[in-house]
Amino acid sequence: MKWGIGMSSKSRFKPKKKQYTIEWPEGHTLHGMEVTLRGMRLGELEAFAGAAVKFEETTGDDNVAAINFMVEKIARVLVGWNRVDEDTVDDDDDESGELLPATAEGLRKLDIEEFMEICKAYMGRMGGVEESLGKGSNNGDMSLVELPMTEQ
């Protein structure tokens, strides 16, 4: 049987959309924050990873273009989070503050380090980093496998 045209609907496969929740461990600067994202298609992930490298290696307009591209891509897969808008927090009330929208606008209210932490964790998950990868190896960088994620 030839694949493609003429196949019965029984032979078609539609994958379930996966969602991933990022949670940071105690002691991490983002401990307590939860971010839920959908997966990207392979081509999108390749372009996203390329933009991340470009961001790290460039300055000026190229750097701005790379970060804007990354914000738009993460916004497209961002399902939700518990990130509070710091501009709405009452200093006397720990439970105050409105949630930032899970949009490009909300992402743009983060500082760059916080945004890049989300991106690193997401790319690690989408890149298939296994828990056992790199055990016993420490090059001084933060390990992506230290960031627990759960599939939903």
pLDDT tens digit sequence for 52-78: 999 999 889 989 999 999 999 999 999
> What is the pLDDT, as a whole number, of residue 120?
93
pTM for this model (two decimals): 0.74
> What is the pLDDT, as a whole number, of residue 136?
44
> What is the pLDDT, as a whole number, of residue 4?
59
**Burial class for 41, CB neighbours closer than 10 Å (0-12, 13-18, 19+):** exposed
The closest alpha carbon to 123, from 53, 27, 63, 28, belongs to 53
CB 63, CB 89: distance < 8 Å: no
Backbone φ and ψ for 37, nearest 5 degrees, come out as: -135, 155
3-state secondary structure of 15: coil
E strand or H helix that includes residue 35: strand 34-38
pLDDT in tens, 24-57: 999 999 999 999 999 999 899 899 999 999 999 9
CB 62, CB 70: distance < 8 Å: no
Range in 10-14, 46-50, 79-83, 132-136 the model is least confident about: 132-136
